[in-house]
Amino acid sequence: MSLMRTMILATAALGLTPAGAQAPAKLKVGLMLPYTGTYAALGHAIENGFRLYVAEQGGKLGGREIEYVKVDDESDPSKATDNVNKLVKRDNVDVIVGSVHSGVAMAMARVAKDSGTLLIVPNAGADAVTGAMCAPNIFRSSFSNWQPGYAMGEVLARKGVKNAVTITWKYAAGDEMVRGFKEAFEKGGGKVTKELNLPFPNVEFQALLTEIAAARPEAVFSFFAGGGAVKFVKDYAAAGLKKNIPLYGTGFLTDGTLAAQGDAAEGVQTTLHYADGLNTPRDNAFRLAYAKRYKLQPDVYAVQGYDAAQILGSGLAAVKGDVSKKAEFIAAAQKARIDSPRGAFSLSPAHNPVQDIYLRQVGARENKVIGVASKALTDPARGCKM
């Protein structure tokens, strides 16, 4: 082998550019996330997590530096199609990463499916994204709404709870988490006696809390997140309900919110694919790196952003940064085992994480893991034809 060729191979293996050769163009990542509104903190945590993983890889994935193009989607589904089209058609991004809100993510999935652009969903749980709307170029690093809801239904049925009232925002995330909860809870012998809703992102909970007090169920199951979750948990406690009717929910109810919720959240049990106190070497290293870089503790959203970058990195490594080799990219990404801080996971054939769902309880301002509610829970991917 010639000396020149040996040098080129060696520098490529190290992720370096040989002298005289042009560095490959930057990979354009479109971050479509909420940076304002009730989910703003979630969007920021996802971006932080994503950037942390890229930084740990020396600023490159698949040998390419990353250029970010950012859009604040405001968690507004009515603006989502225009926003994602701007990223695809005007900015020509190589991959889209987004979003948090299920309604926004469904619009993004439609555009990704039609245009063939790679999409990695770092939060929104809309079941359809890896269900009826599934596609080879769409991946999710987070969860389906069904997963944490179903796990809490199993937990309450196992506890012997016989009846529960549900309360959530009226949109895909709330509807689907309640549906998952009800499926497992009623299969286990429980009965959902009332389903209460209010429009997203409304936080006027008083009338509904009065209905809960009158109904006197054994338990309440809820989904709220971000700023809305802070207010709901505080209002529930202030209404005097907490000591008589235990509050449960998917983990979004108390993740990234505990400092603001204070004592009102103490004792609340939730189900989620991440928790505090996992105490694994992988999670400890992640938490230390995140805290050092951002002077903040990570939450589930940061983990999902970090893992979105890992999924992208696994596909890009296989094609050496050449995203035009889509079939090879997809084949590698879908069989990757993601070394996540939550615990390693693989993707289902519909590209949704197959993962343990933890049972957590709030204590001393942490969502402490107290067990595994559902082991390697696989979303049923209803309607997915791929």
- Shortest gap between Cβ of 181 and ligand BEZ (angstroms)? 14
Binding-site member from 102, 137, 141, 352 for ligand BEZ (CB under 6 A): 102
Nearer to ligand BEZ, 225 or 350 (CB): 225
Q: Provide CB contacts within 8 A for 16, sequence distance 6+.
A: none
Mark residues 165-204: x for contact with ligand BEZ by CB under 6 A, - for none: --------x-------------------------------
83-89 contact pairs (CB < 8 A, 24+): 83/32, 84/30, 84/32, 84/108, 84/111, 84/112, 85/111, 87/30, 87/32, 88/30, 88/115, 88/117
The verdict on 125 binding ligand BEZ (CB under 6 A) reads yes
- Shortest gap between Cβ of 216 and ligand BEZ (angstroms)? 29
Beta strand extents in the chain (DSSP E only): 27-33, 60-61, 64-72, 95-97, 118-121, 138-140, 163-169, 191-198, 219-223, 247-250, 269-272, 337-338, 345-347, 353-363, 366-377
Question: CA nearest 264: which of 276, 250, 277, 253?
Answer: 253
The verdict on 248 binding ligand BEZ (CB under 6 A) reads no
Binding-site member from 252, 274, 286, 306 for ligand BEZ (CB under 6 A): 252
The verdict on 225 binding ligand BEZ (CB under 6 A) reads yes
Site for ligand BEZ in 14-53 (CB under 6 A): 39
The verdict on 124 binding ligand BEZ (CB under 6 A) reads yes
The verdict on 147 binding ligand BEZ (CB under 6 A) reads no
- Shortest gap between Cβ of 145 and ligand BEZ (angstroms)? 6
Do residues 345 and 379 touch, judged by C-beta distance below 8 A? Answer: no
Please report, to the nearest 10 degrees, the dihedral formed by the alpha carbons of residues 82, 88, 89, 92 taken in order. 150
Please identify, among the stretches 49-57, 119-127, 181-189, 335-343, the one whose residues bind ligand BEZ according to the rule CB under 6 A.
119-127
Write out the residues near ligand BEZ by the rule CB under 6 A: 39, 100-102, 123-126, 145, 173, 225, 252
